[in-house]
């Protein structure tokens, strides 16, 4: 049994590295193109981004009496309530009765359903483990209100933490700009990569499996001359035409933002400016460390449910008396427990490795010899570049 499981772990690592190889050139190309953008281009894109703010509902913060005896030190913590800038978000009477408002309402309803049904905290008992709570969040559709698709990729959601509304808004703009530009910068390359690697993409990625399922169902209905309602048909057709590698790439950008939000939920001693903390987080590659220690299905669901781990960062002092930040040992211990449960219950079940469930961390957290940086490293460089160019006038 032990030998068989080890064999499966080797196969799992091989799959992880195969997926890394597929995505690495896309990360490099994407980052290189973004780093050539100037502030005028960034501001022009930002001006067309639709932003709304919402409060997390109390139903999303259900309390749980029982908590693992080993985890008793975890505290409930809530970000202090802030009076958000409501003037910019107010709807005029005209908007409330316009098609735009109806589209917004439909889109937001779809986002809520996504959060409720997909981005949930049921697995790994995350609702018991992750006790910190946000009060409000900002959201924005990447493709516009009229196109309701994959919310994990095409809706940016940024919770408002202790660094406030301005910080959250600037991060939302950054993430939305990066996600929006995916289809402009790497669409052709992603299409070619998917056609060359469709067998592994359709088997080992969630977006690939969804696309294959849609294609198979449409083909089955056609062969059987089976009727299908218009709404289901258009939904299947959209998924069947999706470039699944591109969807996975955009989900990766959203996950990077979710990791940054998790790391910046609370103010840290000596870091009064969110710019200085974010710069140090990116320079220290903490989102990369984060991606290696948490299991799949952790990052996006946690932040989109308004949760975070209290005390996730800690300050440590080096010999030269400079202080730096790192992911806390407390969180690493919890993450290790969650990941062990993930491996036992999801990846290696009955001595079989389940497809699409990777046990060795995000594929893009690994180095590839031809590239001086990791995939996540390239995306972080692009993120930092856009974020800096948005330094002025984020209101």
pLDDT in tens, 50-109: 999 999 875 333 323 222 333 333 456 778 766 555 444 444 444 544 566 788 889 999
Average pLDDT over residues 363-370: 80
Average pLDDT over residues 153-174: 95
Dist. CA 185–CA 204, nearest whole Å: 24
Q: Would the pLDDT of 350 be above 70?
A: no
Average pLDDT over residues 364-390: 91
Q: What's residue 393's pLDDT? A: 52
Q: In this structure, are residues 280 and 270 in contact, taking their beta carbons and an 8 Å threshold?
A: no
Q: Which of 89, 77, 188, 190 is nearest to 134 (CA)?
A: 77
Q: Would the pLDDT of 1 be above 50?
A: no
Q: What's residue 361's pLDDT? A: 63
Q: What's residue 391's pLDDT? A: 64
Helix 164-185 × helix 39-46 angle, to 10°:
100
Minimum mean pLDDT among 7-11, 49-53, 113-117, 189-193: which range? Answer: 7-11
Q: What's residue 59's pLDDT? A: 36
Dist. CA 75–CA 129, nearest whole Å: 9
Q: Would the pLDDT of 34 be above 70?
A: yes
Average pLDDT over residues 207-214: 86
Measured over the CA atoms of residue 302, residue 304, residue 305 and residue 311, the dihedral's sign is positive
Q: In this structure, are residues 72 and 128 in contact, taking their beta carbons and an 8 Å threshold?
A: no
Q: Would the pLDDT of 203 be above 50?
A: yes
* Helix residue ranges, H only, the chain: 2-34, 39-46, 93-96, 99-117, 126-129, 151-154, 164-185, 187-196, 198-204, 206-223, 230-241, 244-263, 274-283, 286-293, 299-304, 329-342, 375-389
The chain-wide mean pLDDT, for the chain, equals 81
Average pLDDT over residues 290-316: 89
Give the whole-number percent of the chain exceeding pLDDT 90.
Answer: 40
The 8 Å CB, 24+ separation contacts for 146-150 are 146/103, 148/106, 148/107, 148/110, 149/238, 150/207, 150/242, 150/247, 150/250, 150/251
Give the whole-number percent of the chain exceeding pLDDT 70.
Answer: 79
Dist. CA 206–CA 198, nearest whole Å: 13
Dist. CA 297–CA 306, nearest whole Å: 15
Name the pLDDT band for 352 (thresholds 50, 70, 90): low
Q: What's residue 98's pLDDT? A: 58
Instruction: Looking at mean pLDDT, say which of 1-10, 235-244, 370-379 comes out highest.
Output: 370-379
Q: Would the pLDDT of 222 be above 90?
A: no
124: left (phi over 0), alpha (psi -120 to 50) or beta: left
Q: Length of the chain, please?
A: 395
Other C-beta atoms lying within 10 Å of the C-beta of residue 364 = 25
Average pLDDT over residues 7-17: 61
Dist. CA 134–CA 370, nearest whole Å: 41
Name the pLDDT band for 348 (thresholds 50, 70, 90): low
Q: Would the pLDDT of 369 be above 90?
A: no
Name the pLDDT band for 179 (thresholds 50, 70, 90): very high
């Amino acid at each position: 049994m032990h030998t068989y499981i080890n064999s499966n772990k080797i196969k799992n690592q091989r799959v992880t590295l195969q997926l890394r190889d597929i995505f690495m050139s896309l990360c490099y190309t994407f980052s290189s193109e973004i780093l050539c953008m100037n502030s005028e281009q960034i501001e022009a894109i930002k001006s067309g981004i639709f932003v709304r703010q919402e409060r997390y509902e109390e139903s999303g913060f259900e309390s749980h009496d029982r908590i693992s005896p080993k985890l008793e030190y975890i505290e409930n913590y809530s970000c202090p309530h802030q009076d958000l800038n409501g003037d910019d978000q107010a709807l005029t009477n005209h908007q409330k009765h316009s098609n735009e408002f109806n589209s917004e309402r439909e889109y937001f309803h779809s986002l809520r359903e996504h959060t409720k049904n997909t981005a949930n905290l049921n697995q790994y008992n995350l609702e018991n483990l992750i006790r910190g709570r946000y009060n409000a969040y900002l959201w924005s559709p990447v493709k516009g209100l009229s196109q309701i698709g994959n919310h994990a990729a095409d809706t940016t959601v940024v919770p408002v933490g202790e660094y406030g509304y301005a910080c959250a808004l600037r991060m939302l703009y950054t993430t939305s700009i990066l996600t929006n530009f995916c289809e402009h910068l790497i669409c052709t390359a992603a299409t070619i990569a998917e056609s060359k690697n469709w067998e592994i993409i359709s088997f080992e990625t969630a977006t690939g499996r969804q696309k294959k399922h849609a294609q198979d169902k449409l083909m089955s209905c056609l062969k059987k001359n089976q009727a299908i309602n218009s709404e289901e048909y258009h939904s299947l057709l959209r998924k069947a035409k999706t470039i699944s590698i591109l969807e996975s790439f955009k989900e990766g950008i959203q996950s990077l933002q979710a990791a940054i939000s998790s790391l910046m939920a609370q103010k840290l001693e000596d870091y009064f400016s969110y710019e200085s903390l974010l710069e140090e987080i990116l320079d220290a590659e903490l989102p990369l460390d984060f991606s290696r220690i948490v299991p799949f299905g952790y990052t996006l669901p946690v932040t989109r449910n308004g949760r975070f781990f209290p005390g996730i960062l800690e300050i440590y002092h080096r010999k030269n008396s400079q202080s730096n930040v790192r992911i806390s040992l407390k969180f690493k211990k919890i993450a290790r427990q969650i990941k062990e449960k993930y491996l036992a219950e999801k990846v290696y079940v009955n001595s079989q490795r389940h497809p699409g469930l990777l046990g060795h961390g995000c594929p893009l957290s690994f180095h590839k010899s031809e590239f001086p940086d990791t995939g996540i490293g390239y995306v972080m460089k692009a993120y930092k570049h856009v974020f800096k160019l948005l330094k002025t006038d984020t209101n």
